[in-house]
């Protein structure tokens, strides 16, 4: 089995290689890519079906690279590892993983033992593994009620500047449903709880919801960049 490591930090790449050699004696060759774009090319060139993927990289982030790899080889198993436990990352991965694949998500602060277990579980046994430490960190830092998938979809589209009518068309919802999702978003994100706001000063709820979602890490730069590319593809299909 060939294994591809996609990591732009040399120290972390060396650590990953040693962990993989220890946990996966079945691996016959370990390849290394410095960013997501190079990772896509190597996965394609060598027909890779086992990948460990960093999420934050300058040239191309891990979610976009995984999307391309999965589009070409949906059976590819990918273990994501990151310094961050953002809810946006987990949602971004869950939105693109194909049914034929398995994936995992482990923090770079995880112990070597947990990393080794995740490597075997995801890349050899085709399990879906999200390290319990990620759920623990999210639980400790979350200050809003969990968003449903449809609420999250509306939040992303709103963040991209779409009107209620266009969100309804894109998500296959009625206009009333979109508006109800927005009301729920405002409540869960605490948009209406702005303290010491004079009654005669109007607050733009859409803008404040986006700001709150960013500060709470319900969305992040990478998720919005990826969503923008999805939007452009959707707009192209809709106009053709």
List the CATH code of the domain at 2-139.
3.40.50.2300
Q: How confident is the model at residue 16 (pLDDT cuts 50, 70, 90)?
A: very high
| Burial environment of residue 20 by CB neighbours within 10 A (0 to 12, 13 to 18, 19 or more) | buried
Do the first three CATH levels of 2-139 and 149-239 match, i.e. the same topology? Answer: no
Structure tokens at 109: 């602060």
Q: How confident is the model at residue 75 (pLDDT cuts 50, 70, 90)?
A: very high
Q: What is the pLDDT of residue 38?
A: 96
CATH 1.10.10 fits 149-239, yes or no: yes
Residues 6 or more apart whose CB falls under 8 angstroms from that of 119 comprise 19, 20, 23, 24, 52, 79
For 168-224, what is each residue's pLDDT tens digit?
999 999 999 999 999 999 998 888 765 555 555 668 899 999 998 988 888 888 888
For 117-168, what is each residue's pLDDT tens digit?
999 999 999 998 887 766 554 454 454 567 888 999 999 999 999 999 999 9
User: What residue spans define the domains of the chain?
Assistant: 2-139, 149-239
């Amino acid at each position: 089995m060939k294994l591809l490591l996609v990591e732009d930090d040399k120290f972390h790449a060396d650590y990953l290689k040693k962990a993989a050699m220890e946990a996966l004696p079945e691996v016959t060759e370990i390849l290394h890519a410095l960013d997501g774009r190079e990772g896509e090319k190597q996965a394609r060139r060598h027909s890779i079906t086992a990948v460990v993927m960093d999420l934050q990289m300058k040239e191309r982030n891990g979610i976009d690279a995984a999307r391309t790899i999965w589009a070409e080889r949906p059976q590819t198993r990918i273990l994501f590892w990151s310094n961050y436990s953002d809810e946006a990352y987990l949602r971004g991965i869950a939105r693109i993983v194909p049914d034929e694949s398995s994936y995992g998500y482990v923090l770079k602060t995880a112990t070597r033992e947990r990393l080794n277990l995740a490597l075997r579980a995801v890349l050899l046994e085709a399990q879906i593994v999200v390290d319990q430490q990620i759920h623990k960190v999210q639980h400790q830092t979350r200050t809003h009620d969990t968003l449903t998938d449809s609420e999250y979809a509306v939040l992303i589209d709103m963040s991209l500047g779409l009107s209620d009518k266009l969100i309804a068309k894109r998500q296959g919802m009625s206009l009333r449903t979109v508006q109800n999702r927005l009301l729920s978003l405002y409540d869960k994100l605490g948009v209406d709880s702005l303290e010491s706001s004079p009654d005669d000063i109007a607050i733009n709820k859409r803008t404040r919801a986006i700001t709150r979602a960013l500060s709470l890490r319900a969305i992040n730069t990478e998720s919005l960049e990826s969503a923008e590319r999805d939007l452009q593809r959707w707009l192209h299909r809709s106009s053709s």
